[in-house]
Structure 1
Amino acid sequence: MSHIYVLLTILFTVYGQIIIKWQVSNAGVFPQDNSEKIYFIIKLLSNPWVISSFMAAFLAAISWMAAMTKLPLSYAYPFTSSSFVLVLFLSAIFFREPITLSKSAGLLLIILGIIIGSTR
């Protein structure tokens, strides 16, 4: 069950990142004028999707706390790097962001780091 908590932490975190990017992209360019900036931020903070991403962050924290009751931090934490892997692929799918050679190399290093860092 402890690995499920780590997985939930990762999934809630990735959900939050994808939703924030989606909603910020839909909101348009960040305004220059200070009063418009405040309105822009308030509008985003009242957006139900953005609120759901904050809830996901809260649930990720709760899942992480549950995982920490069962697993050593030095074992569990490397798995959180897999959120980078998921975000890279999902940003390519949903936002058409390019997966470059350097990103692919970095991704490979992250995966190797997870494998090496999670050995007990």
Structure 2
Amino acid sequence: MKSYLLVACSVILGVLGQLFMKKGMTVLGPLGDPSIMTAFAIVFQPWVFGGLVSYGLAMMIWVAVLSRLDLSYAYPLLSSGYVLVAIGSWWMFGDQISATRWAGILVISAGVVLTAKK
């Protein structure tokens, strides 16, 4: 049970990382010419920085998951992140999700359920 909780935490932190970075880039706007200053502005934008921290925590938890579960079992469970990012982006940013995308999300969800059955 603890392993599943670790997987869920890793997935949720990864999803939050994506949503936070999108929020930060929305604040910054479209990127211009790449430069060191642009890189610093991106990394130290508070939302982006929070997303990077979230990703780092997700990675550390994922290492714990890998020490407990078979990779062929655990890795497909990360696909639930695709579903959560789509729902989060719809909720936070008003992203339009077509019926075709919802169908894809359903297929991914079915795959996660099938994978989770040992």
Alignment of 1:60-75 (within 5 A): 60-75=58-73
TM-score (norm 2): 0.91
Residue 86 of structure 1 deviates from its aligned partner by: 0.6
Larger Rg: 1
> Could you list the runs of 5+ residues in structure 2 that have no partner in the other structure?
none
Greater Cα shift, 38-47 or 105-114 = 38-47
Q: Equivalent residue for 1:92?
A: 90
Distance in 2 between the 1:29 and 1:70 partners?
Answer: 41
Superposition pairs of residues 6-25 of structure 1, within 5 angstroms: 6-25=7-26
The percent of aligned pairs where both chains have the same amino acid is 31
In the alignment, is residue 117 of structure 1 matched against residue 115 of structure 2? Answer: yes
User: Would you say 1:5 and 2:6 are equivalent positions?
Assistant: yes
Q: Could you say what secondary structure the match of 1:69 adopts?
A: helix
Match of 2:28 in 1: 27
1:39 offset after TM fit, Å? 2.9
SS at match of 1:39: helix
Instruction: Give the gaps of 5 or more residues in structure 1.
Output: none
CA deviations over 1:42-70 (Å, ceiling 9, x no partner)? 21112232222111111111111111111
CA distance in 2, matches of 1:40, 1:27: 10
SS of structure 1 residue aligned to 2:68? coil
Give the whole-Å Cα distance in 1 for the aligned partners of 2:114 and 2:106.
Answer: 12
| 4+ residue runs over 4 A deviation | none
Q: Is the 8 A contact 1:79 1:114 kept in 2?
A: yes
Paired position in structure 2 for 1:46: 44
Residues 70-105 of structure 1: CA distance to partner in whole angstroms, max 9, x if unpaired? 111111112111101111011011111011111011
